[in-house]
Structure 1
């Protein structure tokens, strides 16, 4: 029986990852940047321009959005540390997407590199 860690290791052997040092260019060249974390994680802060599609709903969202259904779409994925994004990348490759990249180290690496994040501010009612 495989563990979640085993699945991530297997996934990372099949996918392309981009190092944090090269991530800006990868995002600039991407058609879409997808945050596969849970909604509360995304709401707490995310990379500017990222769309949210949690890991559990990713395949369904891509299948139901014609703007995201082209197999030539250049996709960059991230999660908190890289595991969920690696699993998501494998899933997209299995769906037929040709250009899928995952950010090594995920959002934690992004924050550690002191790159800018977006944190939505809710209105205050005082």
Structure 2
């Protein structure tokens, strides 16, 4: 029986994973930077310019969003440490997306390297 780590390792063998040095250029060249973490993680901090599409909804959202449906889009994905993003990138590759990259080390590596982080303010209901 395969573990989650086995599935991530298999996915990483078939996707394009980029390091932090490549990430900034790839993000500038991308049509979309997608954070596949959960909304509560995204609100706490994310890479500026990212859109949040949780891993569990990714395939459905991309199929249903006209701007994200073209298979030749340049997409950069990330999650907390790179496991979910690797699985997402492999799934998008299976869907026919041709230019999908995943950031190695994910958001944690990005933040630890001192790169820009944006936080989303939630409205106060008081």
Question: Taking structure 2 as the reference length, what is the TM-score of the superposition?
Answer: 0.96
Alignment of 1:42-121 (within 5 A): 42-121=42-121
Offset of 1:121 from its aligned partner? 2.4
For residues 26 and 122 of structure 1, what CA distance do their matches in structure 2 show? 29
Root-mean-square deviation (CA), in Å?
Answer: 1.1
Note the residue ranges of structure 1 that are not aligned, 5 or more in a row.
none
TM superposition outliers: structure 1 runs of 4+ over 2 Å: 121-126
Unaligned runs of 5+ in 2: none
List per-residue Cα deviations over 1:26-53 (Å, max 9, x = no partner): 1001000000000100011111100010
**How many residues get paired?**
126
SS of alignment partner, residue 41 of structure 1: helix
Q: Distance in 2 between matches of 1:89 and 1:99?
A: 10
Per-residue CA deviations over 1:11-69 (Å, capped at 9, x if unaligned) read 00000011011111010010000000001000111111000100000000000001000
Counterpart secondary structure, 2:101: strand
Structure 1 SS opposite 2:37:
coil
TM-score by length of 1: 0.96
Are 2:29 and 1:39 equivalent residues in the alignment?
A: no
